[in-house]
Amino acid sequence: MEQAQQSLLDFSKPFDVNLLDSVISTAYNPTHPQRGDANSILMALQQSPDMWTRSDAILEQSNEMMSKYFALSLLDSTIKTRWKILPPEQRSGIKTYIVTKIIELSSVPQSATTRPFIGKLNLTLITVLKQEWPANWPTFISDLVGSSKTGELLCENNMKILCLLSEEVFEFGKEDMTSDKCKKMKESLNEEFTAIYQLCEFILSNSQRQSLLVVTLNTLQRFLTWIPLGFIFQTNLIHTLLDSFFPQPAFRGAALMCLTEIATLSDLEPQYDTLFQSLYIKFLARLGEFLPVNGGWWEGDKSDEDAAFIRQLALFFCGFFKAHLKTLETPSHSVSLLTGLEYLVHISEVPDNEIFKICLDYWHLLSADLYESSHTSTHPSGLHPHQNPHTPQPTLQLGGGQFMRKMQYQKILSGVRHVMISRMAKPEEVLIVEDENGDVVRETTKDTELLAQYKTMKECLVYLTHLNYDDTESIMLQKLSMQVDGSQWSWNNLNTLCWGIGSISGAMNEEEEKRFLVTVIKDLLGLCEKKRGKDNKAIVASNIMYVVGQYPRFLKQHWKFLKTVVNKLFEFMHEVHPGVQDMACDTFLKIAQKCKRKFVTLQATESQPFIVELVNTLPQIISDLEPHQVQAFYESVGTLLSDRGQAVTINRVALLQRLMELPNRSWRMILDNANQNVSSLLDPATIKEVIKILKSNSRVCATVGPLYIHQLKEVFLDMLNIYKVYSERISEAVKQGGAIATRHALTRSMRTVKQEVLKLLSVFIEMSDAPDCGPVDVATGFLPPVLDPILGDYKRNVAEARDAEVLGLFTVVVRKLKGHVEPEVPRIMDAVFEVTLQMITTNFEDFPDHRVKFFGFLRAVNLHCFNSLFQLPAEHQRYVVDSVVWAMKHTGRDISETGLDILYELLQNVSQNPGVAQGFYQQFLLALIRDVLAVLTDRLHKSGFKMHATLLRTMFHLVQQNKVTVPLFDPATQPPGQTNVAFLTEHVSSLLLVSFPNLTKTQVTPFVAGLFDLNIDLPTFKVHLRNFLIELTEFQVEDNQGLYDEEKQKVEEEKKRLQMEARSAVPGMIKPSEIEGEMDDDL
């Protein structure tokens, strides 16, 4: 193999194509023993700058198709990376060869082997066009159109090239072409489109070749998104599509795709309305000839082609209605409008979820539009704050136009309600599912796509409920009665119905909700008693728990129902069917969060607040629960105890002590045994019990908040002693057995105890607050005993035995206690900084948790205890800066972006502290500029582009504004009178020219000058950087999509903000669990 590599890389003799074929054949043979060596040779060939000159020989002489693909990849890479530095004759030769080869291969019938190869050649031609057209190849379009008329086979491939060109210019071009280049290509394509359209028209009118006609229609579909409207409405295009191609099954799909593109054109002048009306009416007529509106056309087995057509039909109707619904809302077109919507209702019933999601998107839009147009008033929700959403609105009395509009759709919307309820997606609260074998099991993974679908369906059903509550209630109760009488009983039918019932919580007024829910809950409870079989009972129980968990407002106002429901949940906590206990604990937590006031105050007919009874019977309630479920239960009771309202008169401290009686009793037993024999703490069962106790404490602490200090006093010092014991035992194990000892089961268990201690302390400090325990109390009373055992253990232990939670704890300490902990920061830094750096800087993979938490800690110190950084020794200050630079170069996105944030905040803090600023700039600024430029121009950190731009602009402007008064250079090596601006300009220019040989001084000089321009705002600065980086991609092939992440993220965030505002304005749109705080009025 070594000889083969030498021979293939020897450019002094003719290239041995057969030898390359042999190497490639070996590389693609998974069982060949020399496969690895062959792949190494191919990588060496790809890295050779002149190997592309062998491409023509390989393409002409090779008998291996994979060798030809290899040759094309060499050519493609050269065009992308080195085109501008190739001599003109070589560029011309490449261009001519590719065109000639395409014509040669596409002028004859294509086999299954050559077809994808020609497709690859076409892509290579597009790569050339992105470099040459239109400036250096102005005749390309006319040449292509002219050659297309010489033969149908060549014409077919030319249409594919035009399709690719359109996609590249109008869809993908922004990511790998400069904005000016992209603009010029768009203008050229527009100017020459007449010739392209005439070619398409000629083919559609004269060709009988099916494959050519389909390709032409597909290409035309890509053009329709951007061509001038005259080509659509002032030609016979629509007539040709509807009359000549749509009726024919062979062309129906392609024609429908074109019609869909036309149908979705929006924001046009009113003069086009009649043309769209005509298009719609004629389309319905043509569709009705082979697909009647009365449904039934999805019965029996259907092919993939049928599904694809129905999917495209859904896209057509949804696209047309989104863009042009208002043009059809006239008396003369109302019948046609409702016919099209009836088609869409039937399409929504098709058992294909991808098709349904297309329809769902439109039903959501339509229902929202009808709701908003019929609920307009000064209040954001369209209602007076205390107005019934179903009473007539003032708008509806003014001529009744909007009311009549809503009534026009009543029949259609009723059909949509049926579809939504019968196909309701599973919400995340439901943990019990039917698997592919028909068994009822506990869900193990979340389907995020299904959850997104549920959210959309919920919103749609809420709008539909507002539009006609009576119809929604009638449908739901009718379906529920058929579950109760068994006529339509099935797990799926009950599930979708109850998921639908739960989804409309808050969409009705309180009186309607009460009437509706009393019936629903009574029927479901009766169904639970009536059904036999564990699976049936589990399904009913799951639905009861989901429904009651969605209606805290009803439960809060009806104590008897609330008490009945909670006691039923306690019953379910003894049901061992997978998922039932988990869901019971989750539902109890949701109810506790929203109705806690009812549990901690005295209710009518009760002798004491329910929480007293609950705490007294707690051992019986949790007797059958697993440890993680017990912890969830403790969290729920902790949530109840967190209520500090004026109406709460219970003794919260006493109840907390009563709540923690069981774990405290176990804790004392463990400590008593340890006092007699410390080795008892090494018993696996004891360790397991300690972990459970600590986890329960953490859950209670996280919910009761500062009140937890009364419980912490009970366990605090003993907890630190246990931490010391386990630390010493782990250190001994490592000393005796080496680092491998950290993987032993006993050592891992002891480390888990330590981690739980650290988590509990972190939660306590995070939740601490006055009056129970303010920052001063924590800093003086609780922190000092913690420092010695935890910091000492972390510093002296081997890397594998250090817990990342230590870094997390001190991040919380610094963030929460701020200046109160500043005197201790140097001590903390001394213990954790250098040893952690040694762990995480050997590579980018080891100790991932330590990496994230270390930089989180560093950021907290920089933000809240900045002065303490400059109290460190000078060497440690350099460590800090070096670690930040190392973080921003990290391949993990979260760490690299944290590093960028820390650096920006560090520069801000430095600029506000004149005492340290100039020394910092002199020591670090030039190196930081180099490092930021390095990550800006590499291939791994495009997601950080926004911060790269922000940092560079900040640092260059500091220099330009003369805020850096110390020299950034060695005065002894520079001419007299040298300034920082002149030095930095020359330094950065030289750095770029050396790093990127394809750049010229003409390109670099204006780029560097722009970096110093004080008149450029940040958005313009980013465009300046982007254009420069895209020029670099002509040397380094890259995906530049990451450079636009910030804009996409801003658009997405603004979209989410507006959606949240709109959702908040609609009663019932936000799930009760998403509403912050309790739903009590008397808080």
Q: Find all residues with CB under 8 Å of 1002, minimum gap 6, and list them.
A: none
**What pLDDT score was predicted for residue 1035?**
37
What band does 177 get if pLDDT is binned at 50, 70 and 90? low
Higher pLDDT, 176 or 337: 337
**What pLDDT score was predicted for residue 242?**
96
**What pLDDT score was predicted for residue 346?**
94
- What are 310-331's pLDDT values in tens digits? 999 999 999 999 999 999 999 9
In the chain, pLDDT over 70 holds for what percent of residues? Answer: 93
Would you say residue 421 has pLDDT above 90?
yes
Degrees, nearest 5: CA angle 106-110-115: 85
SS (H, E, C) 203-216: HHHHCCCHHHHHHH
In angstroms, how far apart are the furthest CA atoms of the chain? 103
**What pLDDT score was predicted for residue 113?**
81
Would you say residue 966 has pLDDT above 60?
yes
**What pLDDT score was predicted for residue 387?**
38
Higher pLDDT, 495 or 845: 495
Q: What is the mean pLDDT of residues 791-816?
A: 92
What band does 396 get if pLDDT is binned at 50, 70 and 90? very low
CA distance 462 to 503: 7
Please state, as a whole number, how many other Cβ atoms lie within 10 Å of the Cβ of residue 188. 17
What band does 654 get if pLDDT is binned at 50, 70 and 90? very high
Degrees, nearest 5: CA angle 543-547-551: 170
**What pLDDT score was predicted for residue 454?**
93
Element (H, E) at 553: helix 552-557
Q: Find all residues with CB under 8 Å of 847, minimum gap 6, and list them.
A: 799, 804, 839, 840
- What are 570-595's pLDDT values in tens digits? 999 998 888 889 999 999 999 999 99
Q: Find all residues with CB under 8 Å of 184, minimum gap 6, and list them.
A: 134, 135
- What are 1008-1052's pLDDT values in tens digits? 999 999 988 898 998 888 888 877 754 333 444 455 555 666 777
Residue 710's identity, in one-letter code, is: H
What band does 604 get if pLDDT is binned at 50, 70 and 90? confident
Instruction: State the average pLDDT for the chain.
Output: 88
- What are 885-905's pLDDT values in tens digits? 988 888 888 889 999 999 999
Tokens of 842: 């050997």
Would you say residue 1080 has pLDDT above 60?
no
Nearest to 589 by CA among 541, 548, 646: 548
- What are 73-120's pLDDT values in tens digits? 999 999 888 888 888 899 999 999 999 999 999 998 888 888 899 999
What band does 441 get if pLDDT is binned at 50, 70 and 90? confident
**What pLDDT score was predicted for residue 383?**
38
SS (H, E, C) 121-169: HHHHHHHHHHHHCCCCCCCHHHHHHHHHCCCHHHHHHHHHHHHHHHHHH
Would you say residue 460 has pLDDT above 50?
yes
Q: What is the mean pLDDT of residues 777-786?
A: 90
**What pLDDT score was predicted for residue 1038?**
40
CA distance 79 to 85: 10
Would you say residue 247 has pLDDT above 90?
yes
Buried b (16+ CB within 10 A) or exposed e, 481-493: eebeeeeeeebeb
**What pLDDT score was predicted for residue 401?**
64
**What pLDDT score was predicted for residue 397?**
35
Concatenate the DSSP letters of all residues of 814-857 into one string.
HHHHGGGGGGGHHHHHHHHHHHHHHHHSS-SSS-HHHHHHHHHH
Place of tokens 């008897």: 560
Considering only CA atoms, give the Rg of the chain. 36
Q: How far is CA 194 from the centre of its chain?
A: 42
Concatenate the DSSP letters of all residues of 625-653 into one string.
--HHHHHHHHHHHHHHHT---TT--S-HH
Q: Find all residues with CB under 8 Å of 837, minimum gap 6, and list them.
A: 854, 879, 883
Ranges 169-178, 225-234, 879-888: which has the least confidence: 169-178
**What pLDDT score was predicted for residue 362?**
97
Q: What is the mean pLDDT of residues 543-548?
A: 92
